[in-house]
Structure 1
């Protein structure tokens, strides 16, 4: 079937049949790296869930955690092996070859370095529909590397010229970037989406893990999945646990999971000793069985001082695990009335909310309703299908308009 477009011939308008634009768009994703992170996970879920269009991925560095998973899913992947925070002529040349060979209709970038490198080279190669991806709440000037801060500044300066659209998973993150100098005219909010067939209630996994951890009858299990990083504010959580150990009238255990969360982390070990909660905390390090872990926890706690749209909160809720989290980024909007949202860097408020959760759990019918509300919240507003559909619609609009 063909569309008819008006074509001007000899000073009069006639209708001439034009070839139908191909419905299948070629999307080239460019990302800084593919380690275990929120943006990386979102890219992987999007490439494997969005089936209307073709996808290929370029990593500026190595294949990390998600490279093998992308290859297994049949998504073409090119790793440029550029040093962290630096460019290489060989890497740039390889990227130009990918652009020339793949000839994408849209270039979708993820994170600061990829936004700059991928966006500029794509435009220089003639690709007009460039989309930037912002998946954090902005840079901490005291913690972010100088090179990343410089890239951020350059991106802000060209944000009204290079990208046709800037996609953020968080309304608060977009506002913070605009406040830091980014263009205010070309933002789109697409919340992260989650596979409800992966993150779902699983009583078998709950029983298996709690038995492995030697959880006693009546013991309340607090879980937190977060890498060791200042933004995650483990000190806030540990201080809340110390307060909870004094005020609580119930036994509890806390399971900490994530990169850097190991007994070899001297700073973390010292923190647990200083607050006197070493005997109440298990350090599991990085794990791939996040869905099973969320089922094994009674509640999930995120004590961060900075976030955009944290995957772990939505993943816990999808499994029917209520959350206590700090009021940063879009957490308040995500949790809604299904859990407790408290001020950041406030251990007292955090411990009180955890204690309130434990009391809620004693009322079985009320607790079951809260668990169902958590899952329903993610299913209604944050499904993987909804995210894929939103990106697909954006790419089609940009590709069609050129």
Structure 2
């Protein structure tokens, strides 16, 4: 089978990792796989170098006609059995391609409960019938698309993201390695956050919650944040204004996220909105306790309301983090094992790949 994945970009994000993992697994099963990406550089890529990565060069509205023609030529030359697009720009563009050239099967996957405002939802709706199948990554995100009339009636399917348990698992040696690298003593409690510095991730929510923790006389605690993005300067200013520069470490982009998760005592997701909450599942797979905002599909991933808080409520977030810190060792161990079992039973990449194979052949 020939499979063409089309995605908005290959930056450092959850959707990008999902597509590259899926491409790798499909290639390993003997399929011919290519990935076309619309814009940006390559920060996330498949393991297998045989999977061709093709840049479309959609950099502005003025480049749209050229990008459209290039994608047409790619499809016409490759003649894929399945075109599987991901994220709003790629989804709309591939649907428009179908108006000109036949596609055997087109599947469009959204990765968020919030993929933009009215115009984007309208574009989804008016092009809906050009796709054979529209999916989203959680029930909550799929329901959001229905409520926003991005799809007709309930014509959308939930297909969860998969976690590669061969990459994300607990690594016992990681804590000492990370502590040594960052020059942190072993008696510190480590809180970790991972994600782009953008509005969606709502880092001010986390920073203000962390300030409350520090004001509660919790001394031996560090907040590590792995990621980068357009709001980095703004986040650095907030850290300085809250007088937390010695307590928070901005690690930038990292290639050792499983090690960081294994080293941390607690993972925190402070997002304003999400689609699936991939990093929550990854942290759970690494046996890390999680506190998260109840947004998008995070509740479906975490499956425990005791560790969920409302979005944009830093006081509640601080209370929940403190509650988690104060769990006794037996409670922590029980929760870690419960979380791991939930991930292995519902979100393993192997299971999700089998589901996609059924949809591709169906």
For this structure pair, what is the TM-score category when the shorter chain's length is used for normalisation? over 0.9
- Bigger radius of gyration among the two: 1
Whether 2:233 is the aligned partner of 1:266: answer yes
Deviation for aligned residue 1:250: 5.1
CA offset digits 1:22-58 (Å, max 9, x no partner)? xxx3221111221112211111010111326432221
Residue in 2 aligned with 1:380? 345
SS at 1:308 equivalent: coil
Whether 2:296 is the aligned partner of 1:354: answer no
SS at 1:323 equivalent: strand
Residue in 2 aligned with 1:60? 38
Residue in 2 aligned with 1:7? none
Residue in 2 aligned with 1:240? 209
Q: Is the 8 A contact 1:261 1:283 kept in 2?
A: no
CA offset digits 1:332-359 (Å, max 9, x no partner)? 1211139611111111111111111111
Residue in 1 aligned with 2:159? 190
Give the whole-Å Cα distance in 1 for the aligned partners of 2:276 and 2:174: 26
Deviation for aligned residue 1:113: 1.2
Is there any run of 5+ residues in structure 2 with no aligned partner, and where? none
Residue in 1 aligned with 2:220? 251
Task: From 230, 252, 256, give the equivalent of 1:289.
Answer: 256
Whether 2:122 is the aligned partner of 1:168: answer no
Pairs within 5 Å for 1:119-134: 119-134=95-110
SS at 1:60 equivalent: strand
CA 285–249 in structure 1, closer or farther in 2 if over 3 Å, else same? closer
Deviation for aligned residue 1:90: 3.3
SS at 1:138 equivalent: coil
Residue in 1 aligned with 2:335? 370
SS at 2:173 equivalent: helix
Whether 2:72 is the aligned partner of 1:104: answer no
SS at 2:93 equivalent: helix
SS at 2:213 equivalent: helix
Q: Is the 8 A contact 1:196 1:383 kept in 2?
A: yes
Is there any run of 5+ residues in structure 1 with no aligned partner, and where? 1-24, 142-148, 398-402
SS at 1:242 equivalent: helix
Please give the root-mean-square deviation of Cα atoms over the aligned residues, in Å: 2.1
Deviation for aligned residue 1:78: 2.0
Task: From 275, 289, 303, give the equivalent of 1:336.
Answer: 303
Deviation for aligned residue 1:191: 0.6
Q: Is the 8 A contact 2:121 2:148 kept in 1?
A: no
CA 155–249 in structure 1, closer or farther in 2 if over 3 Å, else same? closer
Give the whole-Å Cα distance in 1 for the aligned partners of 2:202 and 2:41: 28
Paired residue total: 359
Q: Is the 8 A contact 1:338 1:370 kept in 2?
A: no
Give the whole-Å Cα distance in 2 for the aligned partners of 1:261 and 1:356: 32
Give the whole-Å Cα distance in 2 for the aligned partners of 1:280 and 1:244: 11
Residue in 2 aligned with 1:146? none
Q: Is the 8 A contact 1:99 1:122 kept in 2?
A: no
| Structure 1 length-normalised TM | 0.84
CA 176–338 in structure 1, closer or farther in 2 if over 3 Å, else same? closer
198-207 vs 150-159, greater mean Cα deviation: 150-159
Deviation for aligned residue 1:298: 0.6
Q: Is the 8 A contact 1:109 1:132 kept in 2?
A: yes
74-83 vs 224-233, greater mean Cα deviation: 74-83
Deviation for aligned residue 1:61: 2.4
SS at 2:184 equivalent: coil
Residue in 1 aligned with 2:176? 207
CA 29–122 in structure 1, closer or farther in 2 if over 3 Å, else same? farther
CA 266–346 in structure 1, closer or farther in 2 if over 3 Å, else same? same
Q: Is the 8 A contact 1:137 1:172 kept in 2?
A: yes
Residue in 2 aligned with 1:179? 147
Q: Is the 8 A contact 1:70 1:77 kept in 2?
A: no
